[in-house]
Structure 1
Amino acid sequence: MIISTKAVILSKLKYKDHDLIVRAYTASNGVVSFLVKGAFSSKKTKIKPAYFQPLSLLQLEIDYKNNRDLHYIKNVRLQQAYSALHTDILKSTVVIFLAEILTMVLKEEAPNEGLYTYIETALLWFDTVDCNSIFHHQFLMGLTKYVGVSPELSNPTLPFFNLEAGLYQAKSSGRYCISGSKLTLFNSILGMEFDNYKSEPMNSAQKQELLNMILLYFKLHLQGFKSPKSLVILNQVFN
Protein backbone atom coordinates (compact mmCIF):
# COMPACT_ATOMS: atom_id res chain seq x y z
CA MET A 1 0.00 0.00 0.00
CA ILE A 2 1.38 3.40 -1.01
CA ILE A 3 0.86 6.09 1.65
CA SER A 4 1.75 9.78 1.66
CA THR A 5 2.49 11.00 5.18
CA LYS A 6 4.31 13.55 7.27
CA ALA A 7 7.07 12.16 9.48
CA VAL A 8 9.48 13.14 12.25
CA ILE A 9 12.83 11.33 12.08
CA LEU A 10 13.76 9.62 15.35
CA SER A 11 16.96 7.75 14.49
CA LYS A 12 19.06 6.29 11.70
CA LEU A 13 21.55 3.42 11.57
CA LYS A 14 23.92 2.41 8.79
CA TYR A 15 23.15 -1.14 7.66
CA LYS A 16 25.72 -3.24 5.81
CA ASP A 17 27.87 -1.18 3.45
CA HIS A 18 25.42 0.99 1.58
CA ASP A 19 22.02 0.84 3.27
CA LEU A 20 20.32 2.79 6.04
CA ILE A 21 17.67 1.85 8.59
CA VAL A 22 15.53 4.83 9.56
CA ARG A 23 13.03 5.00 12.41
CA ALA A 24 10.35 7.68 12.15
CA TYR A 25 7.18 8.80 13.85
CA THR A 26 4.62 9.19 11.08
CA ALA A 27 1.28 10.99 11.09
CA SER A 28 -0.35 8.07 9.26
CA ASN A 29 0.98 5.00 11.07
CA GLY A 30 2.80 6.02 14.24
CA VAL A 31 6.28 4.51 14.61
CA VAL A 32 7.58 3.01 11.36
CA SER A 33 11.02 1.65 10.45
CA PHE A 34 12.35 1.92 6.91
CA LEU A 35 15.12 0.28 4.93
CA VAL A 36 16.72 2.80 2.59
CA LYS A 37 18.66 0.74 0.07
CA GLY A 38 21.77 2.26 -1.50
CA ALA A 39 21.71 5.39 0.65
CA PHE A 40 25.52 5.35 0.88
CA SER A 41 26.12 4.02 -2.61
CA SER A 42 28.40 5.92 -4.97
CA LYS A 43 25.60 5.74 -7.53
CA LYS A 44 23.18 8.61 -7.74
CA THR A 45 20.24 8.18 -5.39
CA LYS A 46 17.37 10.57 -4.76
CA ILE A 47 16.98 9.41 -1.14
CA LYS A 48 20.13 10.71 0.54
CA PRO A 49 21.21 10.19 4.18
CA ALA A 50 21.20 13.97 4.72
CA TYR A 51 17.39 13.94 4.79
CA PHE A 52 17.36 11.87 7.96
CA GLN A 53 18.80 14.24 10.56
CA PRO A 54 17.38 13.90 14.11
CA LEU A 55 13.83 15.27 14.32
CA SER A 56 13.76 16.42 10.69
CA LEU A 57 10.23 17.06 9.45
CA LEU A 58 9.70 15.21 6.17
CA GLN A 59 6.97 14.45 3.68
CA LEU A 60 7.24 10.78 2.71
CA GLU A 61 5.68 8.55 0.12
CA ILE A 62 6.02 5.05 1.55
CA ASP A 63 5.41 1.46 0.53
CA TYR A 64 3.77 0.09 3.69
CA LYS A 65 2.66 -3.49 4.38
CA ASN A 66 1.19 -4.61 7.70
CA ASN A 67 3.11 -7.89 7.86
CA ARG A 68 6.53 -6.29 7.35
CA ASP A 69 9.00 -4.99 9.95
CA LEU A 70 10.90 -2.77 7.53
CA HIS A 71 9.09 -0.65 4.99
CA TYR A 72 10.33 1.34 2.01
CA ILE A 73 10.47 5.01 1.11
CA LYS A 74 9.59 5.75 -2.50
CA ASN A 75 9.93 9.54 -2.34
CA VAL A 76 11.05 12.07 0.25
CA ARG A 77 11.14 15.83 0.59
CA LEU A 78 11.54 18.31 3.41
CA GLN A 79 8.19 19.25 4.85
CA GLN A 80 9.78 22.18 6.68
CA ALA A 81 13.42 23.26 6.61
CA TYR A 82 14.73 24.35 10.00
CA SER A 83 16.66 27.59 10.26
CA ALA A 84 18.59 26.75 13.46
CA LEU A 85 17.76 23.36 15.00
CA HIS A 86 20.56 21.52 13.19
CA THR A 87 23.12 24.35 13.12
CA ASP A 88 22.90 26.13 16.48
CA ILE A 89 25.03 24.18 18.98
CA LEU A 90 22.60 24.57 21.90
CA LYS A 91 19.49 23.72 19.89
CA SER A 92 21.11 20.82 18.03
CA THR A 93 22.22 19.31 21.36
CA VAL A 94 18.64 19.49 22.63
CA VAL A 95 17.40 17.92 19.38
CA ILE A 96 19.76 14.94 19.73
CA PHE A 97 18.69 14.51 23.37
CA LEU A 98 14.96 14.63 22.59
CA ALA A 99 15.33 12.34 19.57
CA GLU A 100 16.94 9.72 21.81
CA ILE A 101 14.13 10.01 24.35
CA LEU A 102 11.39 9.87 21.71
CA THR A 103 13.01 6.76 20.23
CA MET A 104 12.73 5.08 23.64
CA VAL A 105 9.25 6.34 24.47
CA LEU A 106 7.33 6.06 21.20
CA LYS A 107 6.44 2.44 20.42
CA GLU A 108 2.94 2.33 18.96
CA GLU A 109 2.48 1.54 15.29
CA ALA A 110 -0.78 3.45 15.20
CA PRO A 111 -1.63 7.06 14.33
CA ASN A 112 -2.02 9.63 17.10
CA GLU A 113 -2.85 12.96 15.53
CA GLY A 114 -2.59 14.88 18.79
CA LEU A 115 0.88 13.53 19.56
CA TYR A 116 2.20 14.15 16.06
CA THR A 117 0.87 17.71 16.07
CA TYR A 118 2.38 18.34 19.51
CA ILE A 119 5.85 17.23 18.39
CA GLU A 120 5.71 19.12 15.10
CA THR A 121 4.37 22.35 16.62
CA ALA A 122 6.89 22.31 19.48
CA LEU A 123 9.86 21.78 17.16
CA LEU A 124 8.82 24.55 14.78
CA TRP A 125 8.38 26.92 17.72
CA PHE A 126 11.79 26.03 19.19
CA ASP A 127 13.41 26.60 15.80
CA THR A 128 12.25 30.21 15.65
CA VAL A 129 12.88 31.56 19.17
CA ASP A 130 16.03 32.64 20.93
CA CYS A 131 17.41 29.59 22.64
CA ASN A 132 15.09 28.53 25.43
CA SER A 133 17.32 26.64 27.87
CA ILE A 134 14.36 24.83 29.46
CA PHE A 135 12.60 23.83 26.23
CA HIS A 136 13.50 20.17 26.74
CA HIS A 137 12.06 20.30 30.28
CA GLN A 138 8.82 21.80 28.95
CA PHE A 139 8.66 19.40 26.01
CA LEU A 140 9.08 16.30 28.19
CA MET A 141 6.43 17.35 30.69
CA GLY A 142 4.05 18.15 27.83
CA LEU A 143 4.81 14.76 26.29
CA THR A 144 3.52 12.94 29.40
CA LYS A 145 -0.04 13.87 28.40
CA TYR A 146 0.27 12.07 25.07
CA VAL A 147 1.93 8.90 26.35
CA GLY A 148 -0.56 8.41 29.17
CA VAL A 149 1.55 9.27 32.22
CA SER A 150 0.70 12.90 32.96
CA PRO A 151 0.81 13.91 36.64
CA GLU A 152 -2.44 14.28 38.58
CA LEU A 153 -2.56 18.02 39.24
CA SER A 154 -5.44 18.20 41.72
CA ASN A 155 -4.59 19.36 45.26
CA PRO A 156 -1.47 21.34 44.24
CA THR A 157 -1.30 23.04 47.65
CA LEU A 158 -0.39 19.79 49.42
CA PRO A 159 3.22 19.79 50.67
CA PHE A 160 4.45 16.63 48.91
CA PHE A 161 4.46 15.27 45.37
CA ASN A 162 4.98 11.56 44.87
CA LEU A 163 6.92 11.06 41.63
CA GLU A 164 6.13 7.34 41.61
CA ALA A 165 2.37 7.75 42.14
CA GLY A 166 2.23 10.94 40.09
CA LEU A 167 0.15 12.95 42.55
CA TYR A 168 0.22 15.42 45.44
CA GLN A 169 0.07 14.09 49.00
CA ALA A 170 -0.40 15.45 52.51
CA LYS A 171 2.37 13.22 53.89
CA SER A 172 5.58 11.71 52.60
CA SER A 173 5.20 8.04 51.70
CA GLY A 174 8.56 6.95 50.37
CA ARG A 175 11.82 7.95 48.75
CA TYR A 176 10.16 9.30 45.61
CA CYS A 177 8.28 12.06 47.44
CA ILE A 178 9.59 15.58 46.92
CA SER A 179 8.86 18.69 48.95
CA GLY A 180 10.24 22.13 49.76
CA SER A 181 12.53 23.70 47.15
CA LYS A 182 12.42 20.60 44.94
CA LEU A 183 8.63 20.69 44.84
CA THR A 184 8.66 24.42 44.09
CA LEU A 185 11.01 23.74 41.19
CA PHE A 186 8.90 20.86 39.90
CA ASN A 187 5.69 22.91 40.19
CA SER A 188 7.24 25.70 38.13
CA ILE A 189 7.30 23.55 34.98
CA LEU A 190 3.86 21.93 35.30
CA GLY A 191 1.46 23.34 32.75
CA MET A 192 3.95 25.97 31.59
CA GLU A 193 3.32 27.13 28.02
CA PHE A 194 6.39 27.28 25.78
CA ASP A 195 6.05 31.07 25.46
CA ASN A 196 6.32 31.49 29.23
CA TYR A 197 9.83 30.08 29.55
CA LYS A 198 11.18 33.40 30.86
CA SER A 199 8.61 33.59 33.66
CA GLU A 200 10.53 31.23 35.98
CA PRO A 201 14.24 32.19 35.98
CA MET A 202 16.48 29.26 36.99
CA ASN A 203 20.21 28.91 37.39
CA SER A 204 22.15 26.02 35.85
CA ALA A 205 22.03 23.89 38.99
CA GLN A 206 18.25 24.26 39.25
CA LYS A 207 17.75 23.37 35.59
CA GLN A 208 19.85 20.25 35.99
CA GLU A 209 18.04 19.25 39.19
CA LEU A 210 14.66 19.74 37.50
CA LEU A 211 15.71 17.69 34.48
CA ASN A 212 16.88 14.88 36.76
CA MET A 213 13.46 14.85 38.45
CA ILE A 214 11.68 14.72 35.09
CA LEU A 215 13.87 11.85 33.88
CA LEU A 216 13.26 9.99 37.14
CA TYR A 217 9.52 10.50 36.62
CA PHE A 218 9.85 8.95 33.14
CA LYS A 219 11.81 5.99 34.54
CA LEU A 220 9.13 5.36 37.15
CA HIS A 221 6.25 5.49 34.68
CA LEU A 222 7.55 4.21 31.34
CA GLN A 223 8.73 0.62 31.13
CA GLY A 224 12.23 0.24 29.73
CA PHE A 225 13.09 3.94 29.97
CA LYS A 226 16.78 4.53 30.65
CA SER A 227 18.89 7.61 31.19
CA PRO A 228 19.75 8.92 27.70
CA LYS A 229 23.38 8.57 26.61
CA SER A 230 23.24 12.13 25.27
CA LEU A 231 22.48 13.52 28.75
CA VAL A 232 26.20 13.89 29.53
CA ILE A 233 26.80 16.07 26.47
CA LEU A 234 23.62 18.05 27.12
CA ASN A 235 24.77 18.89 30.65
CA GLN A 236 28.24 19.84 29.42
CA VAL A 237 26.88 22.19 26.75
CA PHE A 238 24.38 23.93 29.03
CA ASN A 239 26.69 24.18 32.02
Structure 2
Amino acid sequence: MFLSTQAIVLSKIKYRDNDLIVSCYTKEVGLISFLLRGVLKSKKGHTKAAYFQLLSQIQIDADIKQNRTLQTLKDVKINVLYRTLHTEVLKSSIVMFLADVLAMVLKEEEANTELFEYIENSLNILDETTESSNFHLVFLAQLTKYLGFSPDTSNSHFNYFNLSSGQFETQSKSIYSITGDNLKFLKLSLGILFDDLSEMKMSSKQRQSFLEMLLLYYELHLGHFKKPRSLAVFSQVFS
Protein backbone atom coordinates (compact mmCIF):
# COMPACT_ATOMS: atom_id res chain seq x y z
CA MET A 1 0.00 0.00 0.00
CA PHE A 2 1.29 3.44 -0.90
CA LEU A 3 0.94 6.00 1.89
CA SER A 4 1.37 9.76 1.77
CA THR A 5 0.78 11.48 5.10
CA GLN A 6 1.87 14.07 7.62
CA ALA A 7 4.01 12.67 10.44
CA ILE A 8 5.68 13.70 13.68
CA VAL A 9 9.01 12.11 14.61
CA LEU A 10 8.95 10.40 18.02
CA SER A 11 12.31 8.68 18.12
CA LYS A 12 15.34 7.63 16.12
CA ILE A 13 17.87 4.93 16.89
CA LYS A 14 21.13 4.19 15.12
CA TYR A 15 21.10 0.64 13.73
CA ARG A 16 24.34 -1.01 12.68
CA ASP A 17 26.84 1.47 11.25
CA ASN A 18 24.87 3.45 8.70
CA ASP A 19 21.17 2.82 9.29
CA LEU A 20 18.48 4.50 11.35
CA ILE A 21 15.25 3.17 12.81
CA VAL A 22 12.76 6.02 13.01
CA SER A 23 9.40 5.93 14.77
CA CYS A 24 6.73 8.41 13.65
CA TYR A 25 3.18 9.25 14.62
CA THR A 26 1.21 9.81 11.43
CA LYS A 27 -2.09 11.50 10.70
CA GLU A 28 -3.37 8.69 8.49
CA VAL A 29 -2.34 5.44 10.21
CA GLY A 30 -1.08 6.30 13.69
CA LEU A 31 2.23 4.85 14.85
CA ILE A 32 4.64 3.57 12.21
CA SER A 33 8.37 2.76 12.15
CA PHE A 34 10.87 2.86 9.30
CA LEU A 35 14.26 1.38 8.60
CA LEU A 36 16.37 3.93 6.76
CA ARG A 37 19.18 1.97 5.17
CA GLY A 38 22.53 3.68 4.57
CA VAL A 39 21.23 7.08 5.61
CA LEU A 40 24.37 7.79 7.68
CA LYS A 41 26.79 6.61 5.03
CA SER A 42 27.19 9.75 2.93
CA LYS A 43 27.00 13.51 3.29
CA LYS A 44 23.75 13.49 1.35
CA GLY A 45 22.41 10.83 3.69
CA HIS A 46 23.33 12.86 6.75
CA THR A 47 21.36 15.77 5.31
CA LYS A 48 18.33 13.53 4.99
CA ALA A 49 18.85 12.21 8.52
CA ALA A 50 18.53 15.79 9.77
CA TYR A 51 14.84 15.67 8.78
CA PHE A 52 14.28 13.26 11.66
CA GLN A 53 15.02 15.45 14.66
CA LEU A 54 12.72 14.77 17.61
CA LEU A 55 9.17 16.04 17.08
CA SER A 56 9.93 17.32 13.60
CA GLN A 57 6.82 17.66 11.44
CA ILE A 58 7.38 15.98 8.09
CA GLN A 59 5.52 14.82 5.00
CA ILE A 60 6.31 11.23 4.07
CA ASP A 61 5.68 8.88 1.18
CA ALA A 62 6.02 5.25 2.13
CA ASP A 63 5.54 1.72 0.92
CA ILE A 64 3.50 -0.02 3.63
CA LYS A 65 3.28 -3.78 3.86
CA GLN A 66 1.10 -5.58 6.38
CA ASN A 67 2.78 -7.71 9.05
CA ARG A 68 6.08 -5.84 8.56
CA THR A 69 7.48 -4.18 11.69
CA LEU A 70 9.77 -1.77 9.84
CA GLN A 71 8.39 -0.10 6.74
CA THR A 72 10.13 1.41 3.71
CA LEU A 73 10.30 5.18 3.32
CA LYS A 74 10.24 6.45 -0.24
CA ASP A 75 10.43 10.22 0.24
CA VAL A 76 10.42 12.78 3.04
CA LYS A 77 10.01 16.55 3.17
CA ILE A 78 9.96 19.06 6.02
CA ASN A 79 6.36 20.05 6.64
CA VAL A 80 7.03 22.73 9.27
CA LEU A 81 10.35 24.53 9.58
CA TYR A 82 10.79 25.30 13.28
CA ARG A 83 12.48 28.53 14.33
CA THR A 84 13.33 27.77 17.97
CA LEU A 85 12.42 24.20 19.03
CA HIS A 86 15.79 22.66 18.21
CA THR A 87 18.00 25.68 18.89
CA GLU A 88 16.90 27.11 22.26
CA VAL A 89 18.13 25.07 25.23
CA LEU A 90 14.92 25.23 27.25
CA LYS A 91 12.70 24.34 24.31
CA SER A 92 14.98 21.58 23.04
CA SER A 93 14.86 20.06 26.54
CA ILE A 94 11.06 20.18 26.46
CA VAL A 95 11.12 18.55 23.02
CA MET A 96 13.38 15.73 24.24
CA PHE A 97 11.18 15.10 27.27
CA LEU A 98 7.85 15.23 25.43
CA ALA A 99 9.19 12.97 22.67
CA ASP A 100 10.03 10.40 25.35
CA VAL A 101 6.51 10.65 26.80
CA LEU A 102 4.78 10.48 23.43
CA ALA A 103 6.85 7.47 22.36
CA MET A 104 5.49 5.65 25.41
CA VAL A 105 1.84 6.66 25.17
CA LEU A 106 1.27 6.55 21.40
CA LYS A 107 0.94 2.84 20.69
CA GLU A 108 -2.04 2.63 18.36
CA GLU A 109 -1.54 1.73 14.72
CA GLU A 110 -4.66 3.57 13.60
CA ALA A 111 -5.63 7.13 12.80
CA ASN A 112 -6.63 9.59 15.51
CA THR A 113 -6.95 12.92 13.75
CA GLU A 114 -7.88 14.94 16.84
CA LEU A 115 -4.87 13.64 18.77
CA PHE A 116 -2.52 14.27 15.85
CA GLU A 117 -3.80 17.81 15.40
CA TYR A 118 -3.51 18.53 19.13
CA ILE A 119 0.17 17.55 19.08
CA GLU A 120 0.78 19.37 15.80
CA ASN A 121 -0.85 22.62 16.93
CA SER A 122 0.83 22.46 20.35
CA LEU A 123 4.28 22.15 18.81
CA ASN A 124 3.62 25.10 16.52
CA ILE A 125 2.63 27.20 19.54
CA LEU A 126 5.70 26.09 21.50
CA ASP A 127 7.90 27.11 18.58
CA GLU A 128 6.42 30.62 18.60
CA THR A 129 5.89 31.32 22.31
CA THR A 130 8.31 33.09 24.63
CA GLU A 131 6.56 31.59 27.70
CA SER A 132 7.70 27.98 27.59
CA SER A 133 8.62 27.11 31.20
CA ASN A 134 5.25 25.53 32.00
CA PHE A 135 4.31 24.43 28.50
CA HIS A 136 5.03 20.74 29.13
CA LEU A 137 2.78 20.71 32.20
CA VAL A 138 -0.24 22.07 30.37
CA PHE A 139 0.52 19.84 27.38
CA LEU A 140 0.58 16.69 29.53
CA ALA A 141 -2.53 17.66 31.50
CA GLN A 142 -4.56 18.32 28.36
CA LEU A 143 -3.13 15.34 26.47
CA THR A 144 -5.05 13.08 28.87
CA LYS A 145 -8.28 14.13 27.15
CA TYR A 146 -7.10 12.62 23.87
CA LEU A 147 -5.73 9.48 25.54
CA GLY A 148 -8.99 8.68 27.34
CA PHE A 149 -8.22 9.35 31.01
CA SER A 150 -8.85 13.04 31.46
CA PRO A 151 -9.87 14.10 34.99
CA ASP A 152 -13.62 14.34 35.49
CA THR A 153 -14.08 18.08 36.06
CA SER A 154 -17.79 17.96 36.97
CA ASN A 155 -16.90 18.54 40.65
CA SER A 156 -13.75 20.57 40.16
CA HIS A 157 -14.79 22.92 42.99
CA PHE A 158 -14.07 20.13 45.52
CA ASN A 159 -10.92 20.42 47.62
CA TYR A 160 -9.27 17.10 46.73
CA PHE A 161 -8.47 15.15 43.58
CA ASN A 162 -7.98 11.38 43.53
CA LEU A 163 -5.25 10.50 41.04
CA SER A 164 -6.32 6.85 40.97
CA SER A 165 -10.02 7.40 40.22
CA GLY A 166 -9.62 10.63 38.24
CA GLN A 167 -12.34 12.25 40.35
CA PHE A 168 -12.51 15.42 42.43
CA GLU A 169 -13.59 14.66 46.02
CA THR A 170 -14.74 16.45 49.17
CA GLN A 171 -12.18 14.66 51.36
CA SER A 172 -8.99 12.66 51.12
CA LYS A 173 -9.94 9.02 50.49
CA SER A 174 -6.65 7.39 49.46
CA ILE A 175 -2.88 7.78 49.32
CA TYR A 176 -3.41 9.19 45.82
CA SER A 177 -5.54 12.14 46.96
CA ILE A 178 -3.94 15.53 46.34
CA THR A 179 -4.73 19.05 47.47
CA GLY A 180 -2.89 22.36 47.89
CA ASP A 181 -0.67 23.72 45.12
CA ASN A 182 -0.85 20.58 42.97
CA LEU A 183 -4.64 20.70 43.01
CA LYS A 184 -4.60 24.41 42.13
CA PHE A 185 -2.23 23.88 39.22
CA LEU A 186 -4.17 20.85 37.98
CA LYS A 187 -7.37 22.86 37.76
CA LEU A 188 -5.54 25.70 36.05
CA SER A 189 -3.70 23.51 33.54
CA LEU A 190 -6.88 21.73 32.46
CA GLY A 191 -8.60 24.97 31.52
CA ILE A 192 -5.84 27.33 30.40
CA LEU A 193 -4.94 28.14 26.81
CA PHE A 194 -1.31 27.93 25.69
CA ASP A 195 -1.54 31.62 24.79
CA ASP A 196 -2.14 32.39 28.48
CA LEU A 197 0.84 30.50 29.95
CA SER A 198 2.21 33.72 31.42
CA GLU A 199 -0.65 33.57 33.94
CA MET A 200 0.68 30.30 35.37
CA LYS A 201 3.14 31.44 38.04
CA MET A 202 5.18 28.64 39.60
CA SER A 203 8.46 28.26 41.45
CA SER A 204 10.90 25.58 40.30
CA LYS A 205 9.97 23.48 43.34
CA GLN A 206 6.26 23.75 42.56
CA ARG A 207 6.93 22.92 38.91
CA GLN A 208 8.88 19.79 39.82
CA SER A 209 6.24 18.63 42.30
CA PHE A 210 3.42 19.14 39.79
CA LEU A 211 5.34 17.31 37.06
CA GLU A 212 5.95 14.34 39.35
CA MET A 213 2.22 14.29 40.15
CA LEU A 214 1.28 14.32 36.46
CA LEU A 215 3.68 11.47 35.71
CA LEU A 216 2.21 9.45 38.58
CA TYR A 217 -1.25 10.08 37.12
CA TYR A 218 -0.05 8.68 33.79
CA GLU A 219 1.47 5.65 35.54
CA LEU A 220 -1.79 4.93 37.36
CA HIS A 221 -3.88 5.06 34.19
CA LEU A 222 -1.50 3.58 31.62
CA GLY A 223 -0.13 0.20 32.64
CA HIS A 224 2.88 0.42 30.34
CA PHE A 225 3.93 3.96 31.32
CA LYS A 226 7.22 4.57 33.11
CA LYS A 227 9.04 7.76 33.99
CA PRO A 228 10.90 8.98 30.88
CA ARG A 229 14.62 8.33 30.67
CA SER A 230 15.20 12.01 29.96
CA LEU A 231 13.51 13.13 33.19
CA ALA A 232 16.72 13.52 35.22
CA VAL A 233 18.40 15.73 32.60
CA PHE A 234 15.16 17.60 32.01
CA SER A 235 14.73 18.32 35.73
CA GLN A 236 18.25 19.75 35.93
CA VAL A 237 17.46 22.24 33.18
CA PHE A 238 14.46 23.50 35.14
CA SER A 239 16.08 23.49 38.58
Q: Per the shorter chain, which TM-score range?
A: over 0.9
Return the offset for 1:75. 0.4
Residues 195-206 of structure 1: pairs in structure 2 closer than 5 A? 195-206=195-206
Give the 3-state SS of the residue equivalent to 2:209 in structure 1: helix
Amino acid of the structure 2 residue aligned with 1:141 = A
Unpaired runs of 5+ residues, structure 1, are none
Q: Deviations over 1:107-148 (max 9, x none)?
A: 000011001100000001110111420000011111101111
Secondary structure at the counterpart of residue 233 of structure 1: helix
Which deviates the most, 202-211 or 37-46? 37-46
Fraction of identical pairs, as percent? 46
The equivalent of 1:40 in structure 2 is: 40
Structure 2 CA distance for aligned equivalents of residues 81 and 162 of structure 1: 41
Q: Secondary structure at the match of 2:199?
A: coil
What is aligned with 2:12? 12
Distance 1:132 1:47 in 2: 29
Q: Using the TM superposition, name which of 175-184 and 104-113 deviates more.
A: 175-184
Larger relative helix fraction: 2
Residue equivalent to 2:122: 122
Residues 105 and 225 in structure 1, CA contact (< 8 A), matched pair in contact too: yes
Unaligned runs of 5+ in 2: none
User: Alpha-carbon deviations, 1:76-97, whole Å to 9, x = none?
Assistant: 1100110000000000000000
- CA apart distance, 1:101: 0.3
**Alignment RMSD:** 1.4
Could you tell me how far 1:191 is from its partner in structure 2?
1.8
Do the aligned partners of residues 155 and 88 (structure 1) sit closer, same or farther apart at CA in structure 2, a change above 3 Å counting?
A: same
Counterpart contact for 1:91–1:131, Cα < 8 Å? no
Q: CA deviation at 1:51?
A: 1.0
For 1:152-231, list aligned pairs within 5 A.
152-231=152-231
AA matched with 1:184: K
The number of residue pairs the alignment matches comes to: 239
1: CA distance, partners of 2:19 / 2:200: 46
TM-score by length of 1: 0.96
| Residue of structure 1 equivalent to 2:94 | 94
Show the counterpart of 1:71: 71
Q: Which moved more, 1:85-94 or 1:58-67?
A: 58-67
CA displacement 1:213-239 (0-9 Å, x = unmatched): 111110111111111111111111112
The answer for the alignment partner of 2:145 in structure 1 is 145
